[in-house]
Amino acid sequence: MLSLCMHKEWAPRKKQSTKTGFTIVELLIVVVVIAILAAITIVSYNGIQNRAKASAVQSAASQAAKKIALWKVDNADQSPDLATFTNLVGSGNIGQYQYTPGANGAFCVTATVNGISYNASNANPSPLEGGCDGHSANGVSAITNLVTNPSVENDTVGWSLTVNGTVGSRSTAAALVGTYGITATAPANGSDSGMQIPVSGSLTAGTVYTASFTLRAITAGNYSLSTQGTSGGSGRETKAMAANTTARFTYTWTTSVTGSVSFYAIRQGGVAAVHTFYVDGAMLTSGSSVPNYADGDTAGWIWDGARYNSTSTGKPV
């Protein structure tokens, strides 16, 4: 009996099976750690990639500036024209460059690779981030103001100030942009009276254009921005304005044929009273957006020819 009891006491016990696994908290910690490591890897990779892109475009701008400098050594220190510049950088590569020559050896070249832009010039041969004045850069396209004397800062060249009996003149009192604007006095008659604004060249068929200017009505009345011409831009925007109020007028259209356009600021006819109004800050640009006023004196813009007597180009401001 005793031996039987002892046998039972010392008999090995059967092990109970145990199963182990990750808890929810442990799994979440692992997922978070993996996500952090992935984010660090992506940021590091993007940083390396962006630095490589920046290095490539800096090199392109630097090489172009060096080629121009070498060319100037053999050409009386004058800047090459666009055709010569194209030959210097190779016509197959010209798509990544924008180039503006200047007087007395001045120049500026913008290189753009993968949407990143750097510029180099005679003043700064080491590439700087961004584009030259008047150039597209970093994915933002430059626009051109086709009005050749848009804010009459120097004179009224190109403006016709006597349309249907209007008396117009340049004055500081009429300045709505800059220092000068146009004062116009329209007679009491049945005709649309005002002024014609100077526009450069022909407009291209099938292109969207937007005309704009700022007008201040000294006398209450109906005022219009009106376009006419062979380019199919005949139309207008009209506003009924109270005395001593200011508004920006715009009109957008698509040209039907290549040709000229006439661009007017007018007091509508059919009234038996003299009207006075101011006009300033005229623009005509391609596209349907209405840009803030800019010309060659605006930061980041250039005159495409003579100051106050040519088109001007730059990024929207």
SS (H, E, C) the chain: CHHHHHHHHHCCCCCCCCCCCCCHHHHHHHHHHHHHHHHHHHHHHHHHHHHHHHHHHHHHHHHHHHHHHHHHHCCCCCCCCHHHHHHHHCCCCHHHEEEEECHHHCEEEEEEECCEEEEEECCCCCCEECCCCCCCECCECCEEECECCCCCCCCCCCCEEEECCCEEEEECCCCCCCCCEEEEEECCCCCCEEEEECECCCECCCCEEEEEEEEEECCCEEEEEEEECCCCCCEEEEEEECCCEEEEEEEEEECCCCECCEEEEEECCCCCCCEEEEEEEEEEEECCCCCCCCCCCCCCEEECCCCCCCCEEECCC
Q: Predicted confidence band at 20 (pLDDT cuts at 50, 70, 90)? A: low
User: Which pLDDT score, from 0 to 100, does residue 3 have?
Assistant: 46
Reported as a pLDDT band with limits 50, 70 and 90, residue 227 is very high
Q: Which residue has the tokens 């059967």?
A: 14
pLDDT reported for residue 274: 96
pLDDT at res. 17: 53
Residue 278 predicted with pLDDT over 70: yes
Calpha distance 162→154 (Å, rounded): 19
- Per-residue pLDDT band for 114 (boundaries 50, 70, 90) equals confident
Q: CA 184 to CA 275: how far, in whole Å?
A: 8
pLDDT at site 24: 82
pLDDT digits (tens, 9 = 90+) for 80-109: 999 999 999 998 888 899 999 999 999 999
Query: Which residue intervals of the chain bear CATH 2.60.120.260?
Result: 145-314
Kindly report the average pLDDT of the chain as a whole number: 90
Q: Summarize the confidence of residues 179-197 as an average pLDDT.
A: 95
Q: Please report the pLDDT score of residue 6 as a whole number.
A: 47
What pLDDT, on a 0 to 100 scale, did the predictor assign at position 47? 61
- Residue 2: predicted pLDDT: 42
Distance CA 259, CA 257 (A): 6
**Domain 55-140 coded CATH 3.30.1330:** no
Q: Does the pLDDT of residue 19 top 70, yes or no?
A: no
Tell me what pLDDT residue 10 has: 47
CA distances from 270 to 181, 184, 203, 275 (A): 26, 17, 32, 12
Q: Rounded to a whole number, what is the distance in angstroms from the first to the last CA of the chain?
A: 107
pLDDT band per the 50, 70, 90 thresholds, residue 42: confident
Q: Of 66, 53, 156, 44, which is closest to residue 96 (Cα–Cα)? A: 53
Between residues 19 and 91, the one the model is more confident about: 91
Overall pTM > 0.85: no
Region 300-315: what's the mean pLDDT?
Answer: 96
Q: Which CATH architecture has domain 145-314?
A: Sandwich (2.60)
Neighbouring CB atoms inside 10 A of 80's CB total: 18
- Model confidence at 11, pLDDT cuts 50, 70, 90, reads low
- The answer to whether residue 4 scores a pLDDT higher than 70 is no
Length of the chain: 317
Res. 171 pLDDT band, cuts 50 70 90: very high
Of residues 10 and 79, the one with the higher pLDDT is 79
Give me the pLDDT at residue 182, please: 98
58/8 Cα distance (integer angstroms): 89
List every span in the chain annotated with CATH 3.30.1300. 55-140
